[in-house]
Structure 1
Amino acid sequence: MELENSASSDAVVREKIASLPPEVQDVSRLERITDRETADRLSTTVDEACLLLAEYNGRLVAEIDDRRQVARMLADFVRQQKSLLQESEQKLANYREKLAKVSEVRKELKSHIQNLPDLTMLPSVTGGLAPLPSAGDLFN
């Protein structure tokens, strides 16, 4: 949020700096000063411009520091995300291997079940035989 309202995007201050009189920027214009009153006005204007520029430069330095910090934070974030992605890809590969093993076991089990004999087709083993004696009957 601070970077969105940064010094480099402060159009008002930049406009003030751009609208400074040429006498403030060009030393060769000092030769045109002929009286003390004009010199005093120019001195006041130069002092105000110096304050404005010093404050603006300070804000720009702070913005550069903030941008560097954000760049470091973003680099750390990207590095962490890459690490997490690598871990997730490894887990995915492990789960795919396990799924392949489970599918193979399932396939073998299905094949084994299909190869078992059909018990309904076998002759009846209990047809006409008496039931087995109870445990109490056996030991009496």
Structure 2
Amino acid sequence: MVAVGRGENIAADARKLGACRYIDTNKENAADVLNGMGDAKAIFATTGNSAAIAALMHALAPEGRLIVLSVDKDLLPVWTGYLVGAERGIIGSITGSPFENEKTLDFSVLTGVRPMIETMPLERAAEAV
């Protein structure tokens, strides 16, 4: 699993959550790095930044899927020829289907990914959100 983000300050957390490689987009072109690794079969976009998501789309392998798990006020620019020409797809989901959730949990077990949980008092609920 490869994690992509902006800044070294989140690299340690990405690795702790199971990433074998962290790509800092402040230092590297993520799509180029992913293409050099053999393209991505799936990209899970958790950022609410359409431009950042669009920049990663060029790393999708033929028949690859972009799964968008966030919302942005801006449109996601997509060239339809890129999708049709290699049967790539874009899926949007808030939580995923039961099947996808089960596969995600299976992957977590396989790779040793564990959640990071921080408990906060109710008085700090607004801060937690």
TM-score (structure 1 length as normaliser): 0.17
Answer 1 or 2: higher relative contact order, Cα 8 Å, separation at least 6. 1
Give the number of the structure whose residues are more often helix, by fraction: 1
TM-score (structure 2 length as normaliser): 0.18
Specify the structure having the higher radius of gyration (Cα): 1
Give the number of the structure whose residues are more often strand, by fraction: 2
